[in-house]
Amino acid sequence: MKIAMISEHASPLAALGGVDAGGQNVHVASLATRLGAQGHEVEVYTRRDDATLPERVPLARGVEVVHVDAGPPRAVPKDELLPHMDAFGADLRRRWSDPDAAPDVVHAHFWMSGIAGLVSAPGLGIPLVQTFHALGSVKRRHQGPRDTSPAERVARERLLCRAVDRIVATCTDEVAELVALGADPDRVDVVPCGVDVGRFRPDPARAEHQRERRREEPGTLRLLTVGRLVERKGVDTVIEALPALPSAELVVAGGPAADRLDQDEEVQRLRALADALGVGDRVRFVGSVTQDEVRDHMHAADVVVCDPWYEPFGIVPLEAAACGRPVVGAAVGGLLDSVVDGRTGLLVPPRDPGALAAALQRLADDPALGERLGSAARVRAERLYSWTAVAASTLESYERVVATGSRSGRPRGTAAVPTDVPSEVPARTTAPAPAAGALRAVSAR
């Protein structure tokens, strides 16, 4: 199958850990790579953010990253990219007007990629699949006036929910949100994010070292959080739990490079909070880390803590599970799928340091519980979240939508839609069809 992916701001070549780079970069790169390894032809279209970038860059066997000229060839904050989606979509429409260059299916990642997809694919009769990765409606609910998304975002998401041929949601919690936005549940498939279970795997020697340390130092707990250093990730809640855990130490991985941590506003805020609570000497910031370093930090930790306000999916819990580490996480979004409370980790209410401290104390008092949870998490990660499994499920969605065809009713390769601005792309009104590795050095998500 010839597959086109649109990932307008999240290049699979980009270094991770910045404000606008995270799990989507990993998801797109890993999914494309696995599909290419299975013999499919995959092109990932992303916006050129550097004038020196070549138009095409091989990523893996069968996979190329294609840089699209849309807006200035420099870094632009994600929330300022919407005005350039017209040009992005027009470029794709021009490329795909040649039937020999047209893909069998287009998979848009993130809402702005979907807008570019609407400008290009339907008018050529190419089926359009959408994965949002995060919803503006949820972001606005939790962040309120601090939400920096374009004002039109939720309206455009509603448009996409009605207009695309199929939606691939990343967790069951997202489905209800999509239906509330107008999506037909019969056109929604749930396919989770994945994890590289070969790279992220248990280290028996390190595990034995951890057991010996905890026998010699009963009650101690080494905690790890991994993620972009933005307020919604809830690192402050983890710090607020530390006074009730006098034998716990916390490593915070993510954010800028180590030599720039002192200038980062969120790091300054979190350090000030830790100092005010008297736990500053038990909190260590390590800055951006590669994926291999994430794995090493997980091997050194007793527990991985993920306590966001909300989480569209979250790859870190999967990485922890694949490493055989228990997760104590907030009972929100994708964590409701990726962490089975009492079986592979423990779930607590978000933004509740008391509940978080109580759950962590359970693991401090009973190291064997943590080992049981971590072992079960590894088994579940292999079964449900390997990229092989995720790619197979995604391919089923592609095959389903290709079999039914684009709902635009326009034959493949015929006249393209006018170059209207994205807000003027009409929703389709026909009935929906019935349901039937080579990254640059990366930083923490």
Average confidence (pLDDT) over 282-301: 95
Per-residue model confidence as pLDDT tens digits over 323-375: 999 999 999 989 999 999 999 999 999 999 999 999 999 999 999 999 999 99
Per-residue model confidence as pLDDT tens digits over 385-415: 999 999 999 999 999 999 998 887 766 655 4
Q: What is the Cα Rg of the chain in Å? A: 22
Average confidence (pLDDT) over 115-143: 94
Sheet containing strand 303-306, strands side by side = 283-287, 248-253, 221-226, 303-306, 327-330, 345-348
pLDDT given for residue 312 in this prediction:
79
Average confidence (pLDDT) over 170-190: 95
Q: Which of 344, 340, 342, 341 is nearest to 326 (CA)?
A: 344
Q: Name the more confident of 252 and 207.
A: 252
For 256, the 3-state DSSP assignment is coil
pLDDT given for residue 99 in this prediction:
93
Q: What is the dihedral of CA 119, 123, 129, 135, to 10 degrees?
A: 30
Average confidence (pLDDT) over 168-186: 95
Per-residue model confidence as pLDDT tens digits over 203-236: 998 888 888 888 888 889 999 999 989 899 999 9
pLDDT given for residue 22 in this prediction:
65
pLDDT given for residue 439 in this prediction:
29
pLDDT of 436 above 50: no
Helix residue spans in 74-171 (DSSP H): 85-96, 111-120, 136-143, 153-163
- For 184, counting Cβ atoms within 10 Å of its Cβ (0-12 exposed, 13-18 middle, 19+ buried), the class is middle
For 196, the 3-state DSSP assignment is coil
Average confidence (pLDDT) over 195-202: 96
Q: Which of 68, 127, 120, 116 is nearest to 97 (CA)?
A: 120
Do the bridges between strand 63-68 and strand 56-60 make them parallel or antiparallel, or are there none, so unpaired?
antiparallel
Give the orientation angle of helix 367-384 with respect to helix 204-216, to 10 degrees: 160
Give the least confident one: 94-108, 387-401, 429-443: 429-443
Residue with the two structure tokens 């970038």: 53
- Phi first, then psi: give them for residue 214, nearest 5 degrees: -75, -25
The answer to whether 59 and 34 are in contact (CB under 8 A) is no
Per-residue model confidence as pLDDT tens digits over 414-433: 544 433 434 333 333 333 33
pLDDT of 18 above 80: no
Q: Name the more confident of 210 and 89.
A: 89
pLDDT given for residue 143 in this prediction:
83
Distance, CA of 362 to CA of 384 (rounded, Å): 27
Long-range contacts, 408-411 (Cβ 8 Å, 24+): 408/122, 408/123, 408/125, 409/125, 410/122, 410/123, 410/124, 410/125, 411/125
pLDDT given for residue 421 in this prediction:
37
Total count of residues recorded for the chain: 445
- Global pTM value: 0.83
Enclosing H/E stretch for 408:
none
* Ordered domains of the chain (ranges, CATH): 2-194+386-424 (3.40.50.2000), 204-384 (3.40.50.2000)
pLDDT given for residue 152 in this prediction:
95
The answer to whether 81 and 8 are in contact (CB under 8 A) is yes
Average pLDDT, the chain: 89
pLDDT given for residue 410 in this prediction:
63
Tokens, residue 257: 């490079």
pLDDT given for residue 401 in this prediction:
96
If pLDDT is split at 50, 70 and 90, which confidence band does 238 have?
A: very high
Tokens, residue 428: 């389709």
Q: Name the more confident of 47 and 424.
A: 47
Per-residue model confidence as pLDDT tens digits over 142-167: 888 888 899 999 999 999 999 999 99
